Chains A and B, each alone.
Chain A
Amino acid sequence: MGPLGRGSVIGALVVTALAMVIIPVAARRGRRDWLEIGYAAVHTNLLLLSIAMAAMMSALVTHDFSVGYVAQVGSRATPLLYTIISLWGALEGSILLWGWVLAFYAAAVLSINKHREGNLVPYALAVLMGVMLFFGILLVGPANPFGVVSPVPADGPGPNPLLQNHWLMAVHPPLLYMGYVGMAVPFAFAIGAMLAGEVRQDAWMQLVRRWMLVSWAFLGAAIIAGMWWSYEVLGWGGYWAWDPVENASLMPWLTATAYLHSAMVQERRGMLRLWNVNLVAGTFVLTILGTFLTRSGIISSVHAFTTGTIGYYFLAFIAVVMLFTLVMVAGNSDLLKTEGKLDSAASRETVFLLNNLLLTAFTFTVLVGTLYPLIAEAVRGVKVSVGEPFFDRMSLPLLVLLLFLMGVGPALPWRRTPEGTLGSRLGVPVVGAVLALAIAVLLGRREPWALIAFACIGYALAATLREFATGSAARRAAHGESWPLAFARLVGSNPRRHGGYVAHIGIFLVAIGIAASGGGRLEREGTLARGETLTVGDHTVRLREVYGLQEPQRYVIGARLEVLGADGATIDTLSPRMNFYTSSDQPVPTPDVRSTWSGDLYANLQTFRNDGTTATVKIISEPLVGWIWLGGAVVVFGALIGMLAPRKRLAAEAS
């Protein structure tokens, strides 16, 4: 399988280079026949990389250790699922997946937009092929997954233990790549529009709307899945640590979120043209920056899995992307002047402007915090690390303000708010704020920031639900429909807006989960002999036994804990474990979690006596954590609704 994969990867690089050169030249000279060759090359690239992917998958599954990547991450003892997902367990495989996703997106862009007149699509494809060229070079050179191993080893070490310990590893990385790579498409269209001189028209934005939404949804889902994985696997009971690579995935999501809002302002009011191009370009640059940070080893992080020459390839690429993008945007800035202007402070566009300001301020804060250790070392020669206190303190006020604005925005109309209605528009949702505040206080929360956050969430949630309620009520009155039908037709009548509101509700759920689990967390650690109990808050667990278990690829030590109800009866059991893999001398913790809608009981095995008489366990009670994962799913659902909006309708809606 090695030579087949290697040949396909090299072939893909050749056709990519061909497409990148021939497509813009053909478009410029109006040569339809050349253009067809270039387009065929885009499809051929996908075909060849698909063959390479199939070859790698087959080599992994059949344990063909003559293939370098398989020898690096494969093992006969690894279960099939983890063998398959070890495709993205190390550098070379993940670059292969990355390149394949990009090839797929490029072919999809071509198929969807092939018949569009003008040079926008060819130029956008040329940009995509330019990005593809970089990944093609990586696959042929420094990240070659098909290196030949001789003599062929009988077995391999297996994937990194952390990556073969939980099914979420099958989900998080592919989602992340789908999101990250997808951001290249809006970027390509923005640059293509500038190259084609079409950036004055807003057509390119309509072409990228769904791409942006899809990539945004994937990236958001990837972030949530990553949080969940970290929570389920790492054993510290948390889900976000402001690790550089977490930040790297958050930043483009924030700028993409800003774009989803500011794009509406441009469509409706002709404002923010330059700003929107900057957001699209910035989002893409941030995805490349994120990749650079993960793959170059420039910043210490739990995710950084490689060092070596590849960092310099990424540096060269990021330099080209930044210079090219900045030259294009700055050079075209005259053309990107704003037509409209703000009519009134109390309007939806004002809220969107503030939202963009806050989101970019947040992105900038995260960027500074992430890069500060590097800057400090360069300028002052000192080693510093920027930890959670900085990020928490800086981001909390911004996030709370954003939540508040999510209540204000939907309540205000475009352009200006009619005289005398401002009070009722903004006043009624205060009921939600008071209610949320009361609940939080009754449940014993006293920290000022948490209370402010809950009040803002309550306010925004009430404002959002009110939009659904008044809209449905109006339909009922006008058409005599039942409530469910009125609601469904309301959403269907403007899926873009209502999909957005659904996504907002998802964000509220995430915010509730974070605010509740962050401050309401109780934690205790204790060494238990068999039959002894440990109590955390309202929860009591009793150690039943410590057990050992040999599995094909690992040895497991587990503690069986009984969760006791109020009457002392056993209502559930928890089995936190330590998994010992032969490829690693450090055990991988595997906490066990009992999830209910009101909160989680989280148990981690810290250490144990070899004779099995005692186990030291950490028990954490965390309220409402599950709401975060649920909220993530709701956000994605909202994005799906938003995608229902047909492209041609946009012009009508925008008027």
Chain B
Amino acid sequence: MNWKRALLAPAIAVPVIALFGWGLTRDPGYIESPLPGRPAPGFALEVFAPGTAPLARPAGDSIHLDSLRGRIVVVNFWASWCLGCRDEHEDLTRTALAYADRPVSFVGVLYMDQQPAALKWIGEMGGQSYPSVDDPRSRMAIDYGLYGVPETFILDAQGVVAHKQTGPISAAVLTRVVDSLLAVPTGAK
């Protein structure tokens, strides 16, 4: 063995291994969104799943983002064919109820799906406390740069995107972000 030469080995191996080690801490599917910190694109879409009291909105009603100004808005894109949406569904519906008496609105947005399938899914999942709108031509999804479901955007009272969640969101994250936004006095920037 020529140990002097053998020392070359770590010089080659260590950077590669370090790169892999670092890579393992990353989610390769994650894409940085330019939206956080910017005003959320507006939308006006029709409710197809009314939700339950006290959060219910009648089916056929239009939800305008503008009309929610002053409130914190949680926008959740979902679909009945989406597996991750099953995981987060209970957390979303429960958290929405917990904030029923605060200036917080939850809106579900149906992505690439049929309304009957989506309504059936809601039934199977034991109901959804907040209303969902349909985005039939994916206009809103395109405006929001959606690249999959589930995806959740949390907007502050000024309509600025404060948080974007790729993949299922948990009650813990929802509560943390919404509470921090509620702590900011309305009108303050």
B17 interface neighbour in A315, A328, A371, A383, Cβ under 8 Å: A315
Contact status A300-B28, CB under 8 Å: yes
Contact status A330-B20, CB under 8 Å: no
The proximity string for A residues 283-317 relative to B, scoring 1 for CB distances below 8 Å and 0 otherwise, is 00000000010001111100000000001100100
Residues of B68-102 at the interface with A, using a CB-CB cut-off of 8 Å, are: 80-83
Stretch at the interface among A81-89, A372-380, A469-477: A372-380
Contact status B83-A585, CB under 8 Å: yes
Q: Is the CB of A165 closer than 8 A to any CB of chain B?
A: no
Residues of A327-372 at the interface with B, using a CB-CB cut-off of 8 Å, are: 327-334, 371
Residues of A near B26 (CB, < 8 A) are 298, 377
Q: Is the CB of A323 closer than 8 A to any CB of chain B?
A: yes
Residues of B near A113 (CB, < 8 A) are none
Contact status A326-B9, CB under 8 Å: yes
A364, chain B: closest CB distance, angstroms: 13
Q: Is the CB of A396 closer than 8 A to any CB of chain B?
A: no
Residues of B1-48 at the interface with A, using a CB-CB cut-off of 8 Å, are: 1-3, 5-10, 12-13, 16-17, 19-24, 26, 28-29, 31-32
Q: Is the CB of A630 closer than 8 A to any CB of chain B?
A: no
Contact status B82-A585, CB under 8 Å: yes
B21 interface neighbour in A315, A330, A383, A586, Cβ under 8 Å: A315
Chain B residue with the shortest CB-CB distance to A333: B5
Known contacts A315-B20, A319-B13, A375-B19; is-contact A585 B28 (Cβ 8 Å): no
Residues of B near A371 (CB, < 8 A) are 19
List the count of A-B residue pairs having beta carbons below 8 Å apart.
Answer: 75
A105, chain B: closest CB distance, angstroms: 26
Residues of B near A399 (CB, < 8 A) are none
A330 to B31, CA, bound (A): 40
Interface residues in B, total, Cβ within 8 A: 28
Residues of A near B1 (CB, < 8 A) are 331-332
Contact status A374-B83, CB under 8 Å: no
Contact status B12-A326, CB under 8 Å: yes
Most buried by A among B5, B8, B13, B32: B13
Contact status A299-B5, CB under 8 Å: no
A318 interface neighbour in B8, B17, B80, B83, Cβ under 8 Å: B17
B26, chain A: closest CB distance, angstroms: 7
Q: Is the CB of A234 closer than 8 A to any CB of chain B?
A: no
Q: Is the CB of A452 closer than 8 A to any CB of chain B?
A: no
A585 to B117, CA, bound (A): 11
A293, chain B: closest CB distance, angstroms: 9
Residues of B near A322 (CB, < 8 A) are 9, 12-13, 16-17
A299 to B13, CA, bound (A): 19
Contact status B28-A299, CB under 8 Å: yes
A78 to B66, CA, bound (A): 51
Known contacts A375-B19, A383-B31; is-contact A331 B24 (Cβ 8 Å): no
Chain B residue with the shortest CB-CB distance to A373: B28
Chain A residue with the shortest CB-CB distance to B8: A330
Chain B residue with the shortest CB-CB distance to A379: B19
Q: Please give the residue numbers on chain B whose beta carbons come within 8 Å of chain A beta carbons, in ascending order.
A: 1-3, 5-10, 12-13, 16-17, 19-24, 26, 28-29, 31-32, 80-83
Q: A300-B29, A326-B8 are in contact. List 11 more A-B contacts (CB 8 A).
A: A292-B20, A297-B28, A298-B24, A318-B20, A326-B6, A326-B9, A331-B1, A333-B5, A373-B28, A377-B23, A378-B23
